[in-house]
Structure 1
Amino acid sequence: MNGLVVVGADGSASGLAAVEAAAREAQWRGAGLRVVHAFLWPALHVPLGPSELGPPEGGLRNAARRLVAEAVERARSTAPDIDVTHAVVTGEPLTVLEAQSRTAELVVVGSRGVGGFVGLLLGSTAVHLAAHGHCPVMVVREPGGDGPVLLGVDGSPAGAAAVDFAFAEVELRGAELLALHAWTPWNTPVPPPPPAPALPYAGKPGELADTEECLVAEAIAGRRERHPGVVVRTKAVRGRTRETLIEASRTAQLLVVGARGRGGFTGLLLGSVSQALLHHAHCPVTVVRGSVAGR
């Protein structure tokens, strides 16, 4: 067994979908699966046992045990051959899962827990974990299709870890990789002006599009040699990044992105595009922070 996949279990439908996705990820990797439930109530000094007037199987502690047992059963039914362990850890979900991410190769969570507000697309735990996790974080909001693994390419140094993750994931799944870059004249770096004296500063027709197509090729350079069995399609389109990737995710089985792109503010842990994709993509989304590239 190599590595460990961690999944957050909270008893919600979204959480159980995450358990199924995590079980498959563990199976593909030959890794173990740890089902973790963050049990907040002891920290708040709330009575955990059954009420004197209620059934003996009642109470918060027994409820936590039941939801973990359900998650473990769901994982084993999804991938019977994997090694499944479980833990009920006292603490707030983000703190617990962030700590778990230090020793995991992937953490999987549902998009919304049982405590979410009605109509909310994504819970705060999923967003904050994607920003603060110490390994790639997969958020399962919709099951995804049977199409390619979709990689959002932005050409930033921080995005290199996402490219590496996507190639490895495609190899595990036996899928095709679609490396997609969306650009507009407003989100591309401004080239330096030509040295004087020169003709009026203006690019050749189509020069910007050619440059952005080269960006995709450069972003995946070297990975084809390390993953010779992976089928890769590259695509650079003129359009807004988040809308383009959301639309492309309709047929994808997974969307992989970096935490922040080349246009993000310095020090921002999770960019606006990544957040929009977590909220609106039509397939599971894995956010890969640049700082975990060496894992």
Structure 2
Amino acid sequence: MTTNQETAPIVVGVEHTDAGRLAVVWAADEAARRGLPLRLVHALDWPPGIDHDTAPNPHRQTWSDRFRSAGLRALDEARELATSRHPGLAAETVLAHGAPVPVLREHTRDAAMLVLGSRRLSAATELLTTGGIAVPLTAHATCPVVVVRVPEHTTADPATIVVGVDGSAHSEPAVAYAFDEAARRGATIVAVAVRQPSGGLLAGLQMGEEMQEGRLRLAETLAGWTEKYPNVPVRREVAVGHPVKVLRDAAEHALCLVVGTRGRGGFTGLLLGSVGHGLIHHARCPLVIVPTPHGEEAADRH
């Protein structure tokens, strides 16, 4: 499905938690910046044993009514929060039946981006709860997915947007998003290439070559974008270490951290590996995960 980016909504998953409200705030701010409508979606995931279509038992009917009312109340509060920050913002609410992952995945089909809150749980705990929806949604979404664990850092001077660059075609959409966002917000791009340390007697020599390779890939990747956005300041950093720690630390005071879903080295594999899990659970600013269009994935494989 082709999405009209000028009218596509920003979709946010609504839950009645602090993490959910933080996601609504971020999504509302972004919708206002881009002049896009906001779609607030709450998945009514019925507990086992509750029939929400036919419930002859009057006690069950009362319970189901309360469950539905709680969902509607969460949506009303989310819309009030969004429109109170941005009067005039077009905000619709959707109460959908089903588990959060399939419900939200369906809404990404015509979305400009999907915004999720993330509770402060351990990686193992979150993956075993209904709150652990970011990983499966990220793996299959066709639009950028934003995971908001903490507020963006708006007091840093200069304001920065950090983007992970590995030099492959798969990082291009992430770089494109980062430059567009930086231009909208008057921010500085911090482009980070991560080289993992090598062992052995020739480690020092090999690392020198790795660093040079990282600098060359950064220059090649950013060349066209710096020409397209001449007013966006850019800092280039090549660092040695584990990608999760390097990117997490680089973005500690950033407006957001932007990465792609595929790539080489630490970014390989639909963000289902250690880097993806680490950034989803430990990023210290909003994390934006930008997918590679399917056509580009196919071309890259050939």
Range class of TM-score, shorter chain:
0.7 to 0.9
Conserved 8 A contact 1:135-1:288: yes
2:182 matched to which residue of 1? Answer: 170
Cα 1:230–1:2, aligned 2, differ >3 Å: closer, same or farther? farther
1:29-51 alpha-carbon deviations (Å, 9 max, x no partner)? 11000001111229964358997
Structure 2 CA distance for aligned equivalents of residues 286 and 268 of structure 1: 14
Count of residue pairs the alignment pairs up = 279
Match of 2:91 among 79, 84, 89: 84
| Matched residue SS, 2:238 | strand
Structure 1 CA distance for aligned equivalents of residues 58 and 187 of structure 2: 52
Tell me, yes or no, if structure 1 residue 144 matches structure 2 residue 156: no
Conserved 8 A contact 2:197-2:207: no
Structure 1 CA distance for aligned equivalents of residues 265 and 63 of structure 2: 57
Conserved 8 A contact 2:152-2:286: yes
Structure 1 CA distance for aligned equivalents of residues 192 and 266 of structure 2: 19
Give me the TM-score of the superposition, normalised by structure 2: 0.81
Structure 1 CA distance for aligned equivalents of residues 271 and 60 of structure 2: 49
| Matched residue SS, 1:277 | helix
Cα 1:95–1:171, aligned 2, differ >3 Å: closer, same or farther? same
Read off the aligned partner of 1:13 and give its amino acid letter.
Answer: D
Read off the aligned partner of 2:15 and give its amino acid letter.
Answer: D
Conserved 8 A contact 1:183-1:236: yes
2:77 matched to which residue of 1? Answer: 70
2:169 matched to which residue of 1? Answer: 157
1:152-205 alpha-carbon deviations (Å, 9 max, x no partner)? 111122111111111111112221111111213449xxxxxxxxxxxxxx9689
Tell me, yes or no, if structure 1 residue 132 matches structure 2 residue 140: yes
243-252 or 93-102, which moves further after superposition? 243-252
Cα 1:42–1:243, aligned 2, differ >3 Å: closer, same or farther? closer
Read off the aligned partner of 1:238 and give its amino acid letter.
Answer: V
Tell me, yes or no, if structure 1 residue 105 matches structure 2 residue 112: yes
Cα offset, 1:247, TM superposition: 1.2
1:34 matched to which residue of 2? Answer: 39
Unpaired stretches in structure 1, ≥5 consecutive residues: 188-201
Cα offset, 1:261, TM superposition: 2.7
Read off the aligned partner of 2:139 and give its amino acid letter.
Answer: A
Q: How does 1:268-283 map to 2 (within 5 A)?
A: 268=270, 270-283=272-285
Read off the aligned partner of 2:20 and give its amino acid letter.
Answer: G
Larger radius of gyration: 1
Read off the aligned partner of 1:93 and give its amino acid letter.
Answer: P
Cα offset, 1:256, TM superposition: 0.3
Cα offset, 1:119, TM superposition: 9.0
Pairwise CA RMSD of aligned residues? 3.3
Tell me, yes or no, if structure 1 residue 16 matches structure 2 residue 28: no
Cα offset, 1:120, TM superposition: 4.0
Cα offset, 1:54, TM superposition: 11
Cα offset, 1:271, TM superposition: 3.8
Structure 2 CA distance for aligned equivalents of residues 40 and 56 of structure 1: 14
Read off the aligned partner of 1:175 and give its amino acid letter.
Answer: A
Give me the TM-score of the superposition, normalised by structure 1: 0.83
| Matched residue SS, 1:81 | coil
Conserved 8 A contact 1:182-1:238: yes
Tell me, yes or no, if structure 1 residue 6 matches structure 2 residue 14: no
Structure 2 CA distance for aligned equivalents of residues 244 and 269 of structure 1: 16
Cα 1:293–1:181, aligned 2, differ >3 Å: closer, same or farther? farther
Q: Percent identity?
A: 38
Cα 1:216–1:68, aligned 2, differ >3 Å: closer, same or farther? same
Cα offset, 1:214, TM superposition: 1.1
Whichever structure has more helix as a proportion of its residues is 2
Read off the aligned partner of 2:176 and give its amino acid letter.
Answer: D
Structure 2 CA distance for aligned equivalents of residues 206 and 263 of structure 1: 17
Read off the aligned partner of 2:138 and give its amino acid letter.
Answer: A
| Matched residue SS, 2:143 | coil
1:255 matched to which residue of 2? Answer: 257
1:191 matched to which residue of 2? Answer: none
